[in-house]
Amino acid sequence: MAGEKEIKARILDAAEQCLLESEPGARIHAAVAERAGVSRPTVYKYVGDQEAIVAAILHRDINRMHEAAEHVLTRRGSLRERFVETIVFVVGYARSHALLQKGLRENPAAILPWFTVNAGPIIEMGIAFVGPHIKQAIADGDFPDVEPRVVVEWCCRLTLSLITTPGTVRLDDPDLLRRYVEDLLDIGSVIS
């Protein structure tokens, strides 16, 4: 018999596929239940309504992205280099995320609040992920003694804006994006 984690994972996998295949705003519970091989009440029990499904997929995929980015953040090199490479990695990851890109293209009004006015949980996830690395770099004397939460929040806000807002830099070119982020860091050091 399947455990709770396995059932929830099947539901979220099914929901992601249903969202990829559906029109913006389509109700998907029946299709999710069928694809996951569970009843509609089971979908509600393990995940919730459609908004809760989207939130669960978002959080699951951010955790997956953090796992994938761990090798970038922990490689050798200065914290600055790892910081830049992590931003480049996350932006590239988000730009290749099929469901996110579909949502931004077809229904930005439903997606953008998760990355702007409702971004608190995403920022907290970023702080939990990157904060310990900054604390360690401060302890090692490799980074100025600053509040890690502030640094990570700035990083998250920058990354979220690069994912959601067109600008002057070509985000599909990692080298251009890397130079852009490095220039932003240089501006910060000149101003101080």
Tally of structural domains, the chain: 2
Q: Which uninterrupted H or E stretch holds 163?
A: helix 148-164
Same domain? 95 vs 28: no
Residue appearing with tokens 């971004």: 119
Q: What is the CATH number of the domain that holds 7?
A: 1.10.10
Same domain? 144 vs 178: yes
Nearest to 59 by CA among 110, 7, 1, 12: 12
Centre a 10 Å sphere on the Cβ of residue 164 and count the other Cβ atoms it contains. Answer: 17
For residue 119, report the phi and psi dihedrals to the nearest 5 degrees. Answer: -80, -5
Same domain? 34 vs 83: no
Are 155 and 87 within 8 A, CB to CB? yes
The DSSP secondary-structure symbol of 23 reads P
Judged by DSSP in three states, 155 sits in helix
- pTM to 2 decimals? 0.85
The pLDDT tens digits for 134-155 are 888 889 888 888 898 998 898 8
The DSSP secondary-structure symbol of 75 reads S
Q: Residue 30's domain spans which residues?
A: 1-48
pLDDT in the model for residue 93? 94
Same domain? 26 vs 94: no
Judged by DSSP in three states, 28 sits in coil
Average pLDDT over residues 40-56: 92
Average pLDDT over residues 32-49: 94
Same domain? 82 vs 127: yes
pLDDT in the model for residue 166? 76
Say how far apart CA 8 and CA 2 lie, in whole Å. 10
